[in-house]
A and B are shown apart, each in its own frame.
Chain A
Amino acid sequence: GEEVAQTPKHLVRGEGQKAKLYCAPIKGHSYVFWYQQVLKNEFKFLISFQNENVFDETGMPKERFSAKCLPNSPCSLEIQATKLEDSAVYFCASSQLVANWDTQYFGPGTRLTVL
């Protein structure tokens, strides 16, 4: 597609439940990035993929968070045993290249609320 698509728009989970977020990058884009925005503050980089391969995972929490990009499927970000502090808007972005000058196009985000 011409835009990055993210589903669902909103997700509410009780503490300890699993949350799974999806991202469909722009067609033809090889790179996918996940960012977390807590309380309208700055975006925190989580992980990036080059096609189905993890490219940079330096921002991923060591526990509970995992992500995948499989062929012919939307990318996913999964949080096992959610905590209150996981409440945030999760944005996915995609780009054709990973060059610093290549624009990352963002999706509308998924708002995760952990109760």
Chain B
Amino acid sequence: DQQVKQNSPSLSVQEGRISILNCDYTNSMFDYFLWYKKYPAEGPTFLISISSIKDKNEDGRFTVFLNKSAKHLSLHIVPSQPGDSAVYFCAASGSSNTGKLIFGQGTTLQVKP
């Protein structure tokens, strides 16, 4: 049973435009959500996070929105840059209070110059 889902395997965006990556979850016990970025042959790098008591968190070009009633979160990148091309993983924690992360399948973002 997949508790965190990223239904779009890939996304292609023009440089300078907005990239929107989506993530859905099923477990209402999750209370913290994170986005990680991953380049090939490297480990995931933390990007941005949001607590379930908030609906928005912004850090520079990156904004994460959380809709608890819909169990949906999204990552907005604006403006998108070619260096943003990577695989983005949505992750959730809190169901066990042991810090373990439950990851989605990832979305490959390609930003075209």
Contact = CB atoms under 8 A, between A and B. Distances in A.
Main SS of the interface on chain A? loop
Interface in A90-115: 91, 93, 95, 97-109
A45 B46 contact: no
Most buried by A among B43, B45, B93, B106: B43
A6 B42 CA distance: 11
Interface stretch (A13-21, A53-61, A66-74, A75-83): A53-61
A45 B51 contact: no
Nearest to B90: A42
Contact of A101 (B32, B98, B102, B105): B32
Interface magnitude class on chain B: 20 to 34
Interface residues of A, number: 31
B35 to A, nearest CB: 12
Interface string A10-41: 00000000000000000000010101000011
Interface in B28-70: 31-32, 34, 36, 41-46, 49, 51
Given A33-B101, A103-B46, A109-B43, 8 more contacts: A6-B43, A43-B91, A43-B101, A45-B102, A55-B99, A58-B100, A101-B49, A108-B41
